[in-house]
Amino acid sequence: MPILKRFLSSLAAVLACASALAGVCSADTAEGRPDVGSPPAILSPAEVQIGTAERRRDPIQLAIGLTRRARETGDPAYYDRALEALDDVLRSDSHNPDALRVSAWVHMGRHEFAAARRIARRHLAGHPEDAVAWGILGDADMELGRYEEAGAALQAMNDRRPGPAAYSRAAYHSELRGDLQGALELMEMSLAATGPFEVEDRAWLLVQIGHLRDLQGDIGAAEATYRSALGSFPGYHYALAALAEICLRTGRDAEAAEGAQRAIDAAPHAERYLLLADALQALGRERDAAAAEDRFESLALENTGRADNENHDLVLFYLERRPDPGRALAIARREAARRRDVHTLDRLAWALFNNGRQRAAARLMTAILQTGTRDPLIAQHAAAIRAARLRSSG
Amino acid sequence: MKKLIRARAPWAGLLIALVLAGAPAHAASHREAPLMTLDPAADITDVYAFVSYDDANLSRRPEDRKATLILNVVPGQEPSSGPNYFSFDDNVLYQFKVDNDRDGRDDLRYEVRFKTDVVSPGQFIATLALPPVTSLDGEGSQGLSRKQHYTVTEVRSCGVRCEQRRPLFEGQILSAVPSNIGPRTMPNYDALAAKGVYVDGPTGIRVFAGQRAETFAIDLGAVFDTLNLRVETEPQIPGVRPPLPVQTAAEDADDAKNPFGANSFSGFNINTIAIEVPVARLTRDGRPPVSSTSTIGLYCTTSRQVVTLRSDTSRLDRTRASSFAAALLKGQGGWKQVSRMGNPLVNELITPIGSKDLWNATEASDEAQFLANYRNLAVAQALQLVSGVPVPPNPREDIVRLLTKYAGQDPDPNVGPFSELLRLDLTVPPTAPAMIRRLGPLAHDASGNSTPDPAGFPNGRRPNDDVTDIVVRVAGGPNYIANFVGDGVGIQEKGVTAEFPFLPTPYDGRNRQHKDPGETKN
């Protein structure tokens, strides 16, 4: 039956694509119809890798498989298991290069960016030719807002081993610097270089391509691309969430609510409750929407002191949904003490602005924009801060 | 409840849409791009070089013969992997590199570049047989939503920093043969694939690019499980612990079946670029090969475009962002070699894990830096460890000579050049398909009497040569040769293909099957 299920999923993806072209936003799950968004019925590449590594008692491959599975599912418990597997190796050989490299990658997955950076640098000191380690260092520097160093690390990765992983990172770097078309081309290069077996990797890249097309204003192409991601990896939570967002923005509120709920069911990232809340609100289900916001707040507060948190969204939540500007500023400052990327600094600037600190907000926003970012939310905040400054000076 | 309660801001109504547009895949918090991603379109799985053994070439005079060079990529293709089938990559440079003056450096290259045309951008599935596909282009090809085309260029060295580039096929754009999806989509795949064989009139060169069945046969699971080879026969060597995978002479001489191993690649496909060149075109003087010019060395490489990121952005401001964006240079870093192959299994069995990227990025002529890996032959030590049967002691200068030197070159282990090349003596006559022996020079009859087939590996390599058994025996030395040691997998069930491109019709997606020993399903 798994083969049949897979066929039906593929067929459904084709049908869904046709629907997308027709402007329909339904990932139909009605009984008797194929289910594009159901969880994969066959083993994912990561599951296969985990099984093989367990049979061969290979802790390095096991850790890699578990880390990939963490991204497939959004379940951070896989990271914990990966670190346990690596600890067994590092206890007997603290300089084991493979274990160090994968350990840095796992810490990235756990959003422990500084730790990932430290381990990657330690590994690279002895293995400067390791392209993957340069990629991890570049990832960490990007998340920490060390963009100059990130560019150098990602260049080192590209110089040593151009390919799908290096291209997608160059794309992110380009997007952050404001070159959306360049980012799109690089992301498509990465997709072209990623084999058909790597279904989750392909789905992730397709979600990014959809996002870039969305930023360029082609919402139809974005939606079709998200559906392709679901065809590559049925039930993929990132694609479900992205598709639900498109539905909400285009007035398909019921489908947005359904999609958001399915994304939550697939991987309960807290911020998805905000998406669900917005969809429910649009449907006039205010009590349900409030409950969804409550759920977000509860989860986000639970995580706020952790490395893997929703503080970006929590700051906005306390500025715009349930105003508590002082609390928002405190959270923004705490996060900015940990990382200085444009998104974190934007939340800090926005919190400062909403606490009456217009000049400080304007200074910070100027620095953010020096990166070249064309992130629409940042642009909107920047416009508001600039307008307020003009009003006050006029 | 209000979504946005700060009504003082006139832009607030747009906020949700903007938040949503900017936040895919946890983007605002953390973006986890795939890292340990394989690169199948650039991953060279096998390289073959042999004097063609089709009827036409067998009947030619030696000086008029042609040799076939093959480069395989995209390994382990499950034929039923729809809807995403298998392609070459537009951003990869595929190269055949020929050394014909024995210095280890390439004197002649064949470069292949692809371009993918998406015919139906909105069509998610790669191929939908409406109508069935009977042609690679034009009428009968409407069912192909994506088509790949390619060019072939011959590049001949003419001195220091001098190259003569010659587009073959008059610069014509050639069509690659798509994956074999199934009989409804492609009712006559053989006829379709035959349309993908092109002949360049002026040079006599033939070329094919597309999907083929995998002929490399190996018990991969057993080999990489610390040489945990399967065996059903009793140990032939007294005191062996645990028993070596020893075959009887009769089993080993039988090229019609696999005695006990499981062919890990049974039923899988690969992507092939095959080019057939007149032998006189491969020699250094452009004349038919004679003893002094007869041996060429081949290796193949894939290279990817390096992306250049500009990072001097610290003083950028908003108004300069667009100029910065324009300065992001893509594809201007040139090509970076990411995979190479000459002899089989060198990267897998000789090169340590930590050196593989570096080895792949290195030209064959720079092999001297890796000679320690040949001399301290880890696979031989592993054989001895698991079997208890002695192997020749290190340093293994015999392996260095076999894989990095031409016959007749200075045997002094300190004297180069050392270049890892698949060497082919173009004057060795091809063996007719029915007479091909998988063990080449180590072939024998059922009684164990030597019946060598000199046209096989390590004199070049043919698609059905059993390189695993040959490599294990050469690595293990006389004890392993005498006892017919191997992985118990010698053949691929489709057998020898007697016509260019000398690789079998790929398994189709609908009817594919993977066979273990004893399985008879059809």
pLDDT at B51 over 70: yes
For A14, the closest of B26, B125, B338 (CB atoms) is B125
For residue A16, what pLDDT is reported?
Answer: 36
- Higher pLDDT pick, B284 / B2: B284
Round to whole Å and give the CA distance between B338 and B44. 9
Three-state DSSP class for residue A384: helix
Q: Which helix (H) or strand (E) holds B518?
A: none
Q: What pLDDT is stored for residue A127 in this prediction?
A: 86
pLDDT score of B237: 57
pLDDT of residue A41: 45
What 3-state DSSP class applies to A53?
A: helix
Considering only the beta carbons, identify the residue of B5, B20, B37 that sits closest to A198.
B37
Which residue of B20, B91, B117 to mutate against A (max A Cβ within 10 Å)?
A: B20
Q: Which of residues 191-250 of A touch B (CB under 8 A)?
A: 192-198, 200-202, 204-205, 207-208, 210-211, 214-215, 224, 227-228, 231-232, 238, 241-242, 245, 248-249
Determine, for residues A196 and B81 on separate chains, whether the beta-carbon distance falls below 8 Å.
yes
Cβ within 8 Å, pair A289-B1: yes
Amino acid A19: pLDDT: 37
Q: Tell me which DSSP letter residue B169 carries.
A: G
- Give A-chain residues touching B40 at CB under 8 angstroms: 195, 197
Residues 270-329 of B with CB under 8 A from A: 304-318, 320-322, 324-326, 328
Distance CA B452, CA B462 (A): 15
Rounded to whole angstroms, the Cα distance separating B223 from A326 reads 64
* Cα-based angle B340, B181, B76 (whole degrees, multiple of 5): 30
Tens-digit pLDDT profile for residues B458-516: 999 999 999 999 998 999 999 888 888 888 888 888 999 999 999 999 999 888 878 76
Q: Inspect the interface and report whether the beta carbons of A193 and B42 lie closer than 8 Å.
A: yes
Contact at 8 Å (CB) between B220 and B264? yes
Residue B12 has pLDDT above 50, yes or no: no
User: Could you give the count of Cα atoms lying within 13 Å of A373 in the half-sphere of its Cβ?
Assistant: 27
pLDDT the model gives residue B66: 98
**B424 closest CA partner among B47, B167, B80:** B47
Q: Which residue of A has its CA nearest to B337?
A: A161
pLDDT for B109-152, tens place per residue? 999 999 998 876 555 444 555 688 999 999 999 888 889 999 99
pLDDT for B520: 54
What DSSP state is assigned to residue A58?
-
* Contact between A206 and A225 (Cβ < 8 Å): yes
pLDDT at B222: 78
DSSP code of residue A188: H
For β-strands B174-175 and B108-118, DSSP reports them as unpaired
Q: Which of A139, A179, A269 should we substitute to test contact with B (largest number of B Cβ atoms within 10 Å)?
A: A179
Asked if B4 reaches chain A (Cβ–Cβ under 8 Å), the answer is: yes
DSSP string, B39-50: -GGG---EEEEE
Determine the Cα–Cα distance for residues A339 and A108; give it in Å rounded to an integer: 13
- Average pLDDT on B76-88 reads 84
Question: Rounded to a whole number, what is the distance in angstroms from the first to the last CA of chain A?
Answer: 71
Of the pLDDT bands very low, low, confident and very high (cuts 50, 70, 90), residue B225 is confident
**Per-residue pLDDT, B25:** 39
ipTM score: 0.77
Q: How far is CA A376 from CA A116, A182, A238, A382, B34, in A?
A: 29, 17, 20, 10, 25
Q: How far is A95 from chain B (nearest CA, A)?
A: 13
What pLDDT does residue B231 have?
A: 66
> Mean pLDDT throughout B161-185?
93
Residue length, chain B? 522
Q: What's residue B103's pLDDT?
A: 94
Q: In sequence order, what DSSP letters do the residues of B496-515 get, joined into one string?
A: ---STT-SPPPPPTTT----
Q: What region does A260 belong to: left with phi over 0, alpha with psi -120 to 50, or beta?
A: alpha
The neighbouring-strand residues paired with B200 are B205
- Report the Cα–Cα distance between both ends of chain B, in Å, rounded: 65
Nearest CA-CA distance, residue B454 and chain A, Å: 38
Q: What is the distance between the alpha carbons of residues B442 and B470, in angstroms, rounded to a whole number?
A: 8
A157 part of contact set with chain B, CB < 8 Å:
no
Q: DSSP label at B24? A: S
A360: exposed, middle or buried (C-beta count within 10 Å: 0-12, 13-18, 19+)? middle
Mean pLDDT, contiguous 10-residue spans, chain A (394 residues) = 34 36 39 32 77 85 91 86 93 89 92 95 89 93 92 91 93 91 93 86 94 95 94 91 97 97 93 97 97 97 94 98 98 96 97 97 96 94 95 82
| Cβ–Cβ below 8 Å for B307 and A167 | yes
Residue B187 above 60 pLDDT? yes
**Residues β-bridged to residue B49:** B69, B461
With 0-12 CB in 10 A as exposed, 13-18 as middle and 19+ as buried, what is A130? buried
Which residues, 6+ apart, have CB-to-CB distance to A31 below 8 Å? none
Instruction: Return the percentage of chain B with pLDDT > 90, whole number.
Output: 55
Closest residue in A to B37 (Cα–Cα): A165
Measured in angstroms, the CA of B221 and the nearest CA of chain A are apart by: 10
Rounded average pLDDT over B365-387: 89
Distance of CA A210 to the CA centre of its chain: 13
CB atoms within 10 A of CB A192: 18
Report the number of secondary-structure helices (H) and strands (E) in chain B.
13, 13
Q: B29: which chain A residues are within 8 Å (Cβ-Cβ)? A: 111, 309-310, 312, 343
In chain B, what percentage of residues exceed pLDDT 70? 81
What pairs with residue B461 in β-bridges? Answer: B49
- Give the tokens for residue A260: 């958001």
Per-residue pLDDT at B112: 97
pLDDT at B313: 43
Residue B8 has pLDDT above 80, yes or no: no
User: Directed axis angle between helix A164-176 and helix A199-215, to 10°?
Assistant: 20
Q: Supply the mean pLDDT for chain B.
A: 83
Taking residue B282's Cβ as centre, other Cβ atoms within 10 Å add up to 23
Asked if A227 contacts A20 with a C-beta cutoff of 8 angstroms, the reply is yes
CA dihedral B501, B504, B506, B510 (to 10 degrees): 150
Q: Are B177 and B135 in contact (CB under 8 A)?
A: no
Long-range contacts of A247-252, Cβ-Cβ distance < 8 Å, separation of 24 or more: A247/A25, A247/A279, A248/A275, A248/A278, A248/A279, A248/A282, A248/B16, A248/B20, A249/A219, A249/B17, A249/B20, A249/B21, A250/A25, A250/A219, A252/A25
Chosen for mutation from B35, B85, B328 (greatest number of chain A CBs closer than 10 Å) is B35
Kindly report the nearest CA distance between residue B522 and chain A, in angstroms: 19
H-helix segments, A93-215: 97-109, 113-126, 131-144, 147-160, 164-176, 180-193, 199-215
The pLDDT of residue B223 is above 80: no
**The two three-digit tokens of residue B273, written as one number:** 């670029």
CB contact (8 A) between residue A369 and residue B318: yes
pTM (two decimals)? 0.84
Crossing angle (nearest 10°) for helices A77-92 and A59-73: 160
The Cβ of residue A159 has, within 10 Å, a number of other Cβ atoms equal to 16
For residue B255 the two structure tokens come to 């090229």
Q: Which of B31, B81, B307 is most worth mutating to test chain A (most A CB atoms within 10 A of its CB)?
A: B307
Highest mean pLDDT among A87-96, B45-54, B287-296: B45-54
DSSP string, A217-237: T-HHHHHHHHHHHHHHSTT-H
Predicted local confidence at residue B123, as pLDDT? 52
